[in-house]
Amino acid sequence: MTIQIDHLHKSYGSGAEAHEVLHDINLTIDSGEVFGILGSSGAGKSTLVRCINLLERPTSGKVLIDGRDITGVKGKELADVRAGIGMIFQNFSLFQQRTVLRNVTFPLELNHTPKAKREERARYLLDLVGLADLADRYPSQLSGGQQQRVAIARALATDPEIIYFDEPTSALDPELTGEVLAVMRQLAEEGMTMLVVTHEMGFARNVSSKTVFMENGVVVEQAPSREFFEDPKEERTREFLRKIEHTN
Ligand code: ADP
């Protein structure tokens, strides 16, 4: 599946109050690619992710999936588009009153997968993220890193074509960050298409195939990751990388 973002703009408010937070974004994400999206807080990264899965509607421009414009889809078509997209958020967003197993089976209940099949798939996925033993616990009984791995298993349940990660490790301490990044690295190696908004330079540099740097609603630079980190073309990118290196 190829996702193409074509001259995408997004404004909030209208008239004199209008505030453009995304300005003429153009990106192509091919099947199996891992995109790292970097940028300071307020750059527009989350808004971009939300426009791609239509949690927000772009003000103008298009999102194309395999050449088909999905920007205006509604109802069942919208549900189908969303079913192909897994989402991971920084605060995990698990159902607190459900066990780990029943968090992962949840999307399969929604699409009416038979019970035995749901459980079989959920147990397989929990094993994949290293949590087979914790299936009967509740989220509050898990560490943050374990909760995020449950969220990843849940996102994989419906076999999505692409997964968006929106700062998946920013609520975690370094040790727990490592275990979540290991699962993400494994998914990347297995060929999952991933779009990862991150502050983890190691992940962007070593795991993502392409890196995009955003600032003030604009894509300043996008390049294959090796080139991006070894030979950034834009002064603003170099400045950002220097600042990050300094704080790490
Ligand atoms: P990032 O993810 O890079 O931190 P965001 O996409 O969250 O950036 O935000 C980009 C800009 O859009 C910020 O200036 C933010 O205040 C603004 N913004 C985000 N969501 C809304 C909204 N629902 N209404 C108005 N402004 C918003």
Nearest CA to ligand 1 atom 10: 44
Mean pLDDT for the stretch of residues 226-246? 92
Q: What is the 8-class DSSP label of residue 199? A: S
Judged against a pLDDT cut of 90, whether residue 248 lies above it is answered with no
pLDDT in tens, 143-194: 999 999 999 999 999 999 999 999 999 889 888 999 999 999 999 999 999 9
Our mutation pick for probing the ligand 1 site, out of 21, 49, 196, counting the most ligand atoms within 8 A of Cβ, is 21
Q: Are 114 and 56 in contact (CB under 8 A)?
A: no
Least confident range of 3-7, 37-41, 175-179, 244-248: 244-248
| Atom in ligand 1 nearest the alpha carbon of residue 39 | 3
| Alpha carbon distances (Å) from 173 to 168, 169, 170, 177 | 12, 8, 8, 6
CB neighbours of residue 46 within 10 Å = 20
45 lines ligand 1 (CB under 6 A): yes
Share of the chain above pLDDT 70, in %: 99
Question: CA 183, 31, 58, 55 torsion: positive or negative?
Answer: negative
pLDDT band at 53 (very low <50, low <70, confident <90, very high): confident
pLDDT in tens, 60-79: 999 999 899 999 899 888 88
Judged against a pLDDT cut of 80, whether residue 216 lies above it is answered with yes
Nearest CA to ligand 1 atom 26: 12
pLDDT of residue 247: 67
Q: Ligand 1 centre and the CA of 170: distance in Å? A: 17
Nearest CA to ligand 1 atom 23: 12
21 lines ligand 1 (CB under 6 A): yes
